């Protein structure tokens, strides 16, 4: 099954874009499980929480072709915050290299929106570069979503033209 993953650093419009694509193509999407998990956590999260988040996120991926994030985000998050990533997560990402995955990489060129779960208002461009490098290294196709091409019409035409939908 083909997967379209909307990804990028915090407050780059991922969820908004995912909702718009879901509505436009009349397809459900797999939500970012980390948000649900962290909202229900009554303490600061730890590196051990990331494996729980990753396992549930992977389960959610099986139910949809449109994803509001994936394990790559958890890997980047873990490496950035803790300096490394759990092997289970990296092994799952390696397995996904065989899958048909297309990334819509959201550039953080829109206004930052404050949110209690967001941690990185000042280094979004640095994180964006990490996302781009990670996706490139995985050899998955991707399209950079910038403020000027954020139109659902432009993105949907590109997805249809390239047989992603």
Distance of CA 11 to the CA centre of its chain: 12
Per-residue pLDDT of 5-40, as tens digits, reads 999 998 899 999 999 999 999 999 999 999 999 999
Per-residue pLDDT of 86-128, as tens digits, reads 999 999 999 999 899 999 999 999 887 776 666 776 789 999 9
CB-based contacts of 120, cutoff 8 Å, min separation 6: 9, 10, 127
Whether pLDDT at 85 is above 80: yes
Task: State residue 149's pLDDT score.
Answer: 80
Q: What is the mean pLDDT of residues 66-90?
A: 96
Whether pLDDT at 165 is above 80: no
Task: State residue 2's pLDDT score.
Answer: 85
Task: State residue 31's pLDDT score.
Answer: 95
Distance, first Cα to last Cα, the chain: 11
CB-based contacts of 36, cutoff 8 Å, min separation 6: none
Task: State residue 136's pLDDT score.
Answer: 96
- Give the integer Cα–Cα distance in Å for 165 and 66: 10
Task: State residue 61's pLDDT score.
Answer: 92
- Give the integer Cα–Cα distance in Å for 69 and 57: 9
| Residue 154 pLDDT class (50, 70, 90 cuts) | confident
Question: How does the average pLDDT of the chain come out, rounded?
Answer: 90
Q: What is the mean pLDDT of residues 140-153?
A: 87
Beta strands (DSSP E) in the chain are 3-7, 29-30, 66-68, 101-106, 141-145
Whether pLDDT at 159 is above 90: no
- Long-range CB pairs of 73-79 (<8 Å, 24+ gap) are 73/7, 73/32, 73/34, 73/131, 74/34, 74/50, 75/134, 76/127, 76/130, 76/131, 76/134, 77/34, 77/50, 78/47, 78/50
CA dihedral 66, 68, 71, 75 (to 10 degrees): 150
DSSP state of 15: H
């Amino acid at each position: 099954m083909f997967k379209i993953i909307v990804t990028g650093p915090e407050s780059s419009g991922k969820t908004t874009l995912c909702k718009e694509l879901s509505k436009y193509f009349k397809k459900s999407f797999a939500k970012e499980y980390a948000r649900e998990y962290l909202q229900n956590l009554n303490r600061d999260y730890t590196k051990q929480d990331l494996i729980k988040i990753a396992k549930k996120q992977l389960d959610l991926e099986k139910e949809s072709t449109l994803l509001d994030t994936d394990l790559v985000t958890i890997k980047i998050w873990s490496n950035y915050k803790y300096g490394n990533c759990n092997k289970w997560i990296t092994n799952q990402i390696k397995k996904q290299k065989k899958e048909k995955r297309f990334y819509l990489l959201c550039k953080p060129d829109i206004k930052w929106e404050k949110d209690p779960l967001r941690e990185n208002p000042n280094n979004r461009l640095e994180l964006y570069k990490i996302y781009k490098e990670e996706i490139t290294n995985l050899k998955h196709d991707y399209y950079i979503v910038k403020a000027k091409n954020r139109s659902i019409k432009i993105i949907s035409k590109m997805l249809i033209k390239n047989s992603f939908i």
